[in-house]
Structure 1
Amino acid sequence: MADVSDTIVRRKLSHEVFDRLKTLITSGELGPGDAMPSERDLMERFGVGRPAIREAMQALANIGLITITHGERARVQQLSARSLFQQVDLSAQILLSASPDSLEHLKQARRFFERGMAREAAQRATAEDIKRLRDILDQQAKAVNEPKQFIGLDMRFHTQIAAISGNPIFEAVSESMLSWLRQYYTEMLTWSGRENVTLVEHEQIIDHIANHDPDGAEAIMVKHLDRSSALFTRQG
């Protein structure tokens, strides 16, 4: 009797095509911005039909390796930390919707992450970094009567703090977590005075970062997140 490990598994043609196309990209034969070969060229090159080519191309698009635009040749995508996390956006939203505990887990993860980012920013921030934060704060102060714009600038403020680390993965993580949380932002933000409290706390965070005070930056960040945590709630 043959061992299970000796069993030959027949793969779908599209899987074979996917592997070969992926190799063209990962080997550098095709680089970011390059057009993929036409469907006809690939059919002749690999000796397969159009359905296998289209299925393989869609699989490449699903993982962010190429972009497919109707009426044009598919092109190789420039991979980045941001594009990597964008690939899981839909799955993250489904998880948050399906699991009652996931929202609380995400808020806890954000708290752990952002306190570290505040410390890192306080250790690394340049005068230009501080200027960027103050510019965002100024824009946010002008948007107190525009809830959507105010919230967008709030999230941009926190992502900018992560960007000070110089690590694009940290920046992408911040951006993704905030985008996943945004669907749970409630109207509590528009309660009288809450906008001003947010602005004051953001100002305090900037001051501690500018003074290169990691302990102070972490402490006020934790206070800020603990207060604002209640703004993210599951509806229904």
Structure 2
Amino acid sequence: MSGFGTPAHLRRDRLSDKIAKDIQDRVLSGELTVGDRLPSERDLMAHYGVGRPAVREALLWLNKTGMLSVSNGDRTRVTEPDPRDMLQLLSGAAKMLVARAEGIRQFQKTRIFVEVALAREAARLATDDDIADLEAVLLRNESCADDIPAFSATDDAFHHRIALIAEDPLLDALYHVVLELLEEQRRTSLSHPESLGKAQAAHRRIFEAIRDHDADRAEAAMRDHLETVIHTYWGIREQASSSP
């Protein structure tokens, strides 16, 4: 095949892994670039001297990593990896971690690191449009004082709008993955009768610090907010475990 040189020797075991690595190496070396089409499955089978299952398994794995786009009716293409797809590959192991108390604590700490950094960046970088959008989301959140599902949705929107100000796709993806893993923590914390009021007051302090471009104050407000959520969660867990 033109432009697709002879492959290195492939052992008969784990052929799909070898094929995936060969294609990956071609992408990383620049031989294949974003938008390039790969040969058809039939041509790849002939090229590597393997059956269809090995080729399909290799392509599907590279599709899962975000390196390739595999679709019915069109040739496989090299794509620009999405940071969210890359982090989702870790979600299986991460879910095992959050099944244990220590794993939850680790991800709570990670969330603080990520969101504190995002709050600082937001205070530094926020434009007038960013501030107007963030205030609009905050006002929607403040209008949900007695509606936990609506509060949860607007809470997500508030934190996500802060994340968007940094314009960092990897941080944004990490924020979403960690938030998803801590969903049970968030639901539990919101069940406390004082949680919504405390969270709304914290959101207001975070917003005002970002509006005033005060990075130190934004960092402190976000840290205090998340530490309060964590404290509430473990307090509820401890109370539940000690109840008869």
- What TM-score range do you get, normalising by the shorter chain? 0.7 to 0.9
Judged with a 3 Å threshold, the aligned counterparts in structure 2 of structure 1 residues 68 and 149 are, in CA distance, closer, same or farther, namely farther
State the one-letter code of the partner of 1:122.
A
Please name the residue that 1:129 is paired with. 130
Query: Is the CA contact (8 Å cut-off) linking 2:34 and 2:77 kept in structure 1?
Result: no
Give the secondary structure class of the aligned counterpart of 2:182.
Answer: helix
Please name the residue that 2:6 is paired with. none
Please name the residue that 1:56 is paired with. 58
Give TM-score scaled by structure 1 length: 0.80
State the one-letter code of the partner of 1:61.
N
Q: Which runs of 4+ in 1 moved over 6 A?
A: none
Query: Is the CA contact (8 Å cut-off) linking 2:87 and 2:174 kept in structure 1?
Result: yes
The CA deviation at 1:9 is 10
Judged with a 3 Å threshold, the aligned counterparts in structure 2 of structure 1 residues 220 and 40 are, in CA distance, closer, same or farther, namely same
Question: Percent identity of the aligned residues?
Answer: 30
**Distance (Å, rounded) in 2 between the aligned partners of 1:142 and 1:70:** 46
**Distance (Å, rounded) in 1 between the aligned partners of 2:119 and 2:172:** 12
2:14 to 12, 15, 18: 12
**Distance (Å, rounded) in 2 between the aligned partners of 1:184 and 1:77:** 35
**Distance (Å, rounded) in 2 between the aligned partners of 1:96 and 1:188:** 16
Please name the residue that 2:103 is paired with. 102
Deviations 1:148-176 (A, max 9, x none): 34223323322322332232222222222
Q: How many residue pairs get matched?
A: 227
Please name the residue that 1:221 is paired with. 222
Judged with a 3 Å threshold, the aligned counterparts in structure 2 of structure 1 residues 190 and 15 are, in CA distance, closer, same or farther, namely closer
Please name the residue that 1:87 is paired with. 89
> Given the alignment of the two structures, is residue 29 of structure 1 paired with residue 32 of structure 2, yes or no?
yes
**Distance (Å, rounded) in 1 between the aligned partners of 2:120 and 2:66:** 32
Deviations 1:120-156 (A, max 9, x none): 2222221111112112213323444543342233233
The CA deviation at 1:188 is 4.1
**Distance (Å, rounded) in 1 between the aligned partners of 2:89 and 2:157:** 20
**Distance (Å, rounded) in 2 between the aligned partners of 1:18 and 1:219:** 46
Give the secondary structure class of the aligned counterpart of 2:101.
Answer: coil
Q: Which runs of 5+ in 2 are unaligned?
A: 1-8
Query: Is the CA contact (8 Å cut-off) linking 2:125 and 2:165 kept in structure 1?
Result: yes
State the one-letter code of the partner of 2:218.
A
Judged with a 3 Å threshold, the aligned counterparts in structure 2 of structure 1 residues 36 and 157 are, in CA distance, closer, same or farther, namely farther
State the one-letter code of the partner of 1:161.
I
Give TM-score scaled by structure 2 length: 0.78
**Distance (Å, rounded) in 2 between the aligned partners of 1:70 and 1:145:** 47
The CA deviation at 1:28 is 5.7
Judged with a 3 Å threshold, the aligned counterparts in structure 2 of structure 1 residues 149 and 44 are, in CA distance, closer, same or farther, namely farther
The CA deviation at 1:104 is 0.7
1:39 to 38, 41, 48: 41
> Given the alignment of the two structures, is residue 172 of structure 1 paired with residue 173 of structure 2, yes or no?
yes
**Distance (Å, rounded) in 2 between the aligned partners of 1:16 and 1:187:** 46
Please name the residue that 1:181 is paired with. 182
